Homo-oligomer: A and B are copies of this chain.
Amino acid sequence: MHSEVVASRSADQRDSSRESRNGNSPQLDAVSLAIIQQLQEDGRRPYAAIGKAVGLSEAAVRQRVQKLLDQGVMQIVAVTDPLTVGFRRQAMVGINVEGDVESIADALTDMSEVEYVVMTAGSFDILAEIVCEDDDHLLDVINKRIRALPGVRSTESFVYLKLKKQTYMWGTR
């Protein structure tokens, strides 16, 4: 009874201790992946339901989720389109840097208006997404704060006109 799936979570994705986050290597197995998928569909889904879906007991799911949360591998949050929540100006800013890219990225990370920072290959070294209340605010962040950082060679802004898609469903496909 109860057997069903289970899929013998053997000792598969062992080794390969590479790191992806900013330092540690969480190393997820297939079951945790499945749990995350469940929670990507509905962050409030009960543990028992998740357990049934991935072939684990309620208690086990609870422990796994807690650990994933504690490790910072995943977070369960509400997401919205900022435009509907009163932030009327958003922009993606492409930045070119001379010198240490990482330190500039860190400086951007510390700004509360900056939602998203990623280091890239291509004609920009960094892409940063900015969320502001209005034009003045946006202008201020870009010109006074970002361009003022030592090492920033140039920036190019892309003001958001309309958000068309925003998903959190990889793996679900």
CA distance A33 to B119 in the complex (A): 32
Which positions 80-98 of chain A face chain B at CB distance < 8 Å?
Answer: 80-87, 91-92, 94
Interface centre among A87, A124, A158, A166 (most CB of B within 10 A): A158
Contact A36 B162 (CB under 8 A): no
Contact A120 B158 (CB under 8 A): yes
Could you say which residues of chain B place their CB within 8 Å of the CB of A28? Answer: 84-86
Of A2-10, A53-61, A106-114, A143-151, the one with at least 4 CB within 8 A of chain B: A106-114
Contact A161 B119 (CB under 8 A): yes
Range of interface residues on A (Cβ < 8 Å): 35 or more
Contact B121 A158 (CB under 8 A): yes
Contact B106 A164 (CB under 8 A): yes
A76 lies within 8 A of chain B by Cβ: yes
Given contacts A44-B44, A84-B25, A92-B127, contact A163 B77 (CB under 8 A): no
* Total identical chains: 2
A73 lies within 8 A of chain B by Cβ: yes
Given contacts A157-B122, A164-B105, A164-B106, contact A33 B85 (CB under 8 A): yes
Contact A118 B162 (CB under 8 A): yes
Could you say which residues of chain B place their CB within 8 Å of the CB of A99? Answer: none
* Extra inter-chain contacts (9) besides given A74-B80, A79-B79, A119-B161, CB under 8 Å: A20-B83, A28-B85, A33-B86, A77-B168, A78-B168, A92-B127, A115-B170, A118-B164, A122-B158
